Amino acid sequence: MALITNAIKGTQDTLPNESYKIQYIESAVRETAENFGFHEMRTPVFEHTELFQRGVGETTDVVQKEMYTFEDKGGRSITLRPEGTAGSVRAFLEHGLFNEALPQKIYYLTSCYRYEKPQAGRLREFHQFGIECFGAGNASADAEAISLANEVFNYLGINNLSLEINSIGCPECRKEYHKALKEYFEQYKYELCETCLGRLERNPMRILDCKSPVCSKIAAGAPTVLEFLCDDCKSHFESVKKYLDAMDIEYTVNPQIVRGLDYYTRTVFEFVSKEIGAQGTVCGGGRYDGLIAEIGGNPLPACGFGLGLERLLLLMEAQKTEFPEPKKCDLYIASMGENANLKAASLAKDLRSEGLCVQFDTVGRGLKAQMKYANKIGALYTLVLGDSELETGNIKLKNMGSGKEHEMNLADFADNFQSIVIKDAMSDFESLGIEGIDLQDILGGKD
């Protein structure tokens, strides 16, 4: 029978033999965020469309071309979230978190949806780690956000990333910049793409972010925003650089960075790699001091970033980064007969409650097939249970790595299994001439 359908274009499955890599990344970003004082927030996968139109910006590619928008059964326009910040701001306001101690520091691990041409590092359903710091206007908050992203990369052992920073100013100093941009792009209005022609009147700064080769070439010669910064924005940007210097974080000022979303003000930044093709931006973010007021709250400064997990995994694999091994089966219990099957289930339950990975036969295989399966899944130990073992109470535990067998009493097995594992491990270390091993390391932190 033919498969009814394949996965939708631009989406992908994460299979069990790969999922441990994403889990490792998720664990790393959670731990890092929490070390910086950030706490998790979860928001719905869809929101009212106007949230993204107002928050992300009607002149952005995201809103104009990429959103998955539909009408629900109540006639409301609903959009699958294309990014994480707007929904986080909505939740921050709706639940009155501005009344709590500020700054409110949140992070999220979430799925996002954009209708883009699928390619390496770009999917229509992708997953993002992001942070938002609400209520901190000092340049130190910008630098802390950058530092957090940098620490994630260090934790994961990623190298050869370049940090590029810029300031795109505030609404006041951008007025003069928009005038200069409009004057510049007017010279090329008949060469611009149709989308950028519309942007020329409403938001010429968005032309700088156009992916059309023709528009990109024209934009390369445009005036830079740094030439138009007001004194406050200049001072803020200089302060950001001082904090980055104090943290020993290397950076390059790139006046071409504007980011693809309209809510950014002042600081914008990107971590870029040259090892994963055209989609080289691994992490991007900055400050968005006007977004909370735009969505309906009182003016409050904020900053943050988003980091694509699939793109990060692509980079780690390109750099041949080492991942921790996935958890293996500590013990496989091969059983023969109904009574042995019941005992295997009971033993498995007791050992799993101690944090061990234990498997037993649930298919009805013969002993030879069970042992073959134990080998395939990489079981560290095996135990055979049959009528004879149940009757005598004597069993043999086999170390699948060394082939060593331990004879012991079945009644004491559950209590003694971990001590046997420790003794075997210590013996292995001693045979290799390794000393000073902590037993807690062998037990994975379990008492």
Structure tokens at 283: 């992490």
| pLDDT the model gives residue 433 | 54
The answer to whether the beta carbons of residues 343 and 179 sit under 8 Å apart is no
Q: Do 294 and 423 lie in a common domain?
A: no
pLDDT at 426: 75
| Structure tokens belonging to residue 3 | 């498969």
Do 311 and 396 belong to one domain? no
Query: Over 90: is that where the pLDDT of 135 sits?
Result: yes
Distance, CA of 213 to CA of 233 (rounded, Å):
31
Do residues 246 and 270 share a domain?
A: yes
Task: State the pLDDT at residue 243.
Answer: 98
Q: Please count the structural domains in the chain.
A: 2
The yes-or-no verdict on residue 440 having pLDDT over 70 is no
Q: Which of 53-67, 187-201, 259-273, 372-386 has the highest mean pLDDT?
A: 372-386
Q: Are residues 378 and 301 in the same domain?
A: no
Q: How confident is the model at residue 446 (pLDDT cuts 50, 70, 90)?
A: very low
Q: Is residue 437 part of a domain?
A: yes
Determine the structural domain holding residue 151 and report its residue range.
16-170+230-318
Does some domain include residue 190? no
Within a domain: 201: no
Which of 167, 169, 168, 164 minimizes the C-alpha distance to 253?
164
Sorting pLDDT into bands at 50, 70 and 90, what band is 86? very high
392 and 284, same domain (yes or no): no
pLDDT at 441 over 60: no
Is 193 inside a domain boundary? no
Rounded distance, CA 447 to CA 427, Å?
Answer: 20
- What's the pLDDT tens digit per position in 160-219? 999 999 999 998 988 888 899 899 999 988 888 888 888 888 888 888 878 788 998 998
- The answer to whether position 260 is within a domain reads yes
DSSP-assigned beta bridge partners for residue 399:
381
* Residues pairing with 286 in the sheet: 268, 304
**Helix/strand/coil (H/E/C) assignment for every residue in the chain:** CCCCCCCCCCCCCCCHHHHHHHHHHHHHHHHHHHHCCCEECCCCCEEEHHHHHHHCCCCCHHHHHHCCEEECCCCCEEEECCCCHHHHHHHHHHCCHHHCCCCEEEEEEEEEECCCCCECCECCEEEEEEEEEECCCCHHHHHHHHHHHHHHHHHHCCCCCEEEEEECCCHHHHHHHHHHHHHHHHCCCCCCCHHHHHHHHHCHHHHHHCCCHHHHHHHCCCCCHHHHCCHHHHHHHHHHHHHHHHCCCCCEECCCCCCCCCCCEEEEEEEECCCCCCCCEEEEEEECCCHHHHHCCCCCCEEEEEEEHHHHHHHHHHCCCCCCCCCCCCEEEEECCHHHHHHHHHHHHHHHCCCCCEEECCCCCCHHHHHHHHHHCCCCEEEEECHHHHHHCEEEEEECCCCCEEEEEHHHHHHHHHHHHHHHHHHHHHHCCCCCCCHHHHCCCCC
Give the residue-averaged pLDDT of 413-437.
Answer: 71
Let me know: does 204 contact 185? Beta carbons within 8 Å: yes
Retrieve residue 399's tokens. Answer: 């170390």
Mean pLDDT of 390-401: 92
Whether the Cβ atoms of residue 283 and residue 307 lie closer than 8 Å to each other: yes
pTM here is: 0.87
pLDDT band at 447 (very low <50, low <70, confident <90, very high): very low
145 and 23 in a common domain: yes
Cα(333)–Cα(342) distance, rounded to whole angstroms? 11
pLDDT at residue 305 above 90?
A: yes
**Alpha-carbon gap, residue 374 to 379, rounded angstroms:** 5
Is the same domain home to 256 and 131? yes
| pLDDT of 99 higher than 90 | yes
Q: How confident is the model at residue 380 (pLDDT cuts 50, 70, 90)?
A: very high
236-288 per-position pLDDT tens digit: 999 999 999 999 999 999 988 887 677 889 999 999 998 887 668 899 999 99
Residue 294 has pLDDT above 60, yes or no: yes
Measured CA to CA, the distance from residue 30 to residue 258 in angstroms comes to 28
Average pLDDT, the chain: 90
What is the C-alpha to C-alpha distance for residues 2 and 405, in angstroms, rounded to an integer?
48
d(CA 398, CA 383): 6
Residue 355, domain CATH: 3.40.50.800
Residues 245 and 379 in one domain: no
The answer to whether 379 touches 331, Cβ cutoff 8 Å, is: yes
Say if residue 237 is in the same domain as residue 375.
no
Q: What pLDDT, on the 0 to 100 scale, is given for residue 41?
A: 97
Q: Are residues 313 and 373 in the same domain?
A: no
Position 8 in a domain: no
Last residue of a domain, one of 269, 291, 318: 318
pLDDT score, position 439? 46
> Residue 307 in contact with residue 128, Cβ under 8 Å?
yes
Residue of 346 and 58 predicted with greater confidence:
346
pLDDT at residue number 204: 87
Q: Look at residues 308, 323, 305, 345 and name the one whose alpha carbon lies nearest to residue 165.
A: 305
Quick one: 155 and 30 in the same domain?
yes
Both 313 and 358 in a single domain? no
**Is 161 inside a domain boundary?**
yes
Q: What is the mean pLDDT of residues 53-60?
A: 78
- pLDDT band of residue 431 (cuts 50, 70, 90) is low
pLDDT of residue 435: 53
Average pLDDT value for residue range 207-232? 89
Q: How many Cα atoms within 13 Å fall on the side-chain side of residue 269?
A: 32
